[in-house]
Amino acid sequence: MAKVLCIDDEPLMRLVTCDYLKDMGHEVLEAASSAEGIALFQKHHPDIVLSDLRMPGGDGFLVVEHMAEEAPDTPVVIISGTGTVAEAVKILRLGAWDYLTKPLTSMPLFAQTLERMLDKARALKATTQHLRGLELRNQELERKLLGCACNHRGMKSRLAAAIKAGINSLHIALHEQDPSTAGHNEGVARLSVDIGSSMGLGEQRLEALKLAGLLHDIGKIAVPKDILNKRGPLSAKELKIVRSHVACGYRILRNIPFEGPVAEAVLQHHERFDGSGYPNGLASGGILLEARILAVADVYDALCSDRPYRPGLCPSDATGYILGRAGTHFCPLCVTAFEQVISKRHMEGETQ
Ligand SMILES: [Fe+2]
């Protein structure tokens, strides 16, 4: 059974309606005006409101407006003997759930309307609760997802830090093996990034390029010092050992989860654009762009550096060497970008 609020300024009408409702087993609250009705609603929160349309001191519109604002889930049924069709339409649009005319000639029909409204209100309440439940569940899921994202970011950050530490260790190991390359790897990394940037590569590719530059000769850890620092020409066997540094570097790096083809670029950095390089004789577009950029940066930086067996070239001679081999040793696009970088550096006063 329901709690029904009946608002009507006519005592006889209230008596008839309320007695009938009580006979049906409902709990009934009575109000003789809209103000009294609203006050009772705020105090007792009935399940349904039955309201007259025209009453002194505030009409049914006031009741409907208040209910639409304060308790839209509670049904309001207007019962009027004087309202026009236009008023009926207006008050239904305002938020009344149904509109009945006085006198109530069929009480069973009145009872049916009441039950229908209460059923509708119960269904609406259940749907609202269900939606609220879904909303809470969504909020919970969002919180969990946010937590996962934070954990993921944390793990990613720890992984990046571990990779950085590992790279640093490899770097130190290579420096121990071949001190003559001190600064060379940083120089290759910096020039590679400048060339890649000039070619419009994105941030992630440039980061991979930087790592590949720092690590490109890491495989030289496995090459004996006396071969690395030999002043005279290398024998065929020694040359084979030196050349094995690219495959060795690849083996060292291939299982590190870099965000880019770092190990592959290291493997290919001695390939040549015309296919005459090593280890696989790849040519032109068959060589990773990162490796083609590394090749230019590596040779330029090496030419400019002093080595135990020769002094370094001046930047203009080293640049001339690179430009003269565009399309044979080096990728022409990379050489063009390299030339732009060198010109810019020259204008900015850098020597290498
Ligand atoms: Fe190399």
**In the predicted model, is pLDDT for residue 352 greater than 60?**
no
Whether the Cβ atoms of residue 270 and residue 246 lie closer than 8 Å to each other? yes
pLDDT at 109: 87
Ligand 1 centroid, distance to 219 Cα (angstroms): 8
- Residue 172 confidence (pLDDT): 81
Q: 350 falls in which pLDDT band (50, 70, 90)?
A: low
Which domains are delineated in the chain? 3-128 (3.40.50.2300), 179-347 (1.10.3210.10)
Q: Are 75 and 49 in contact (CB under 8 A)?
A: yes
Between the CA of 270 and the centroid of ligand 1 the distance, in Å, is 6
Above pLDDT 70, what percent of the chain?
A: 98
Question: What residues form DSSP beta bridges with 51?
Answer: 7, 78
Q: Which residues, at least 6 apart from 254, have a Cβ–Cβ distance to it below 8 Å? A: 263
pLDDT, average across residues 321-338: 97
Measure 201 CA to ligand 1 centroid, in angstroms: 23
pLDDT in tens, 73-98: 899 999 988 878 888 899 999 999 99
* Span 247-276, pLDDT tens digits: 999 999 998 888 899 999 999 999 999 999
Q: Which of 40-44, 218-222, 327-331 has the lowest mean pLDDT?
A: 218-222
239-254 residue pLDDT tens: 999 999 999 999 999 9
CA of 64 to the centre of ligand 1 (A): 84
Q: How far, in Å, CA of 215 to CA of 164, rounded?
A: 12
Residue 184 DSSP symbol: H
DSSP string of 2-52, one letter each residue: -EEEEE-S-HHHHHHHHHHHHHTT-EEEEESSHHHHHHHHHHH--SEEEE-
Cβ distance 100 to 78 under 8 Å?
A: yes
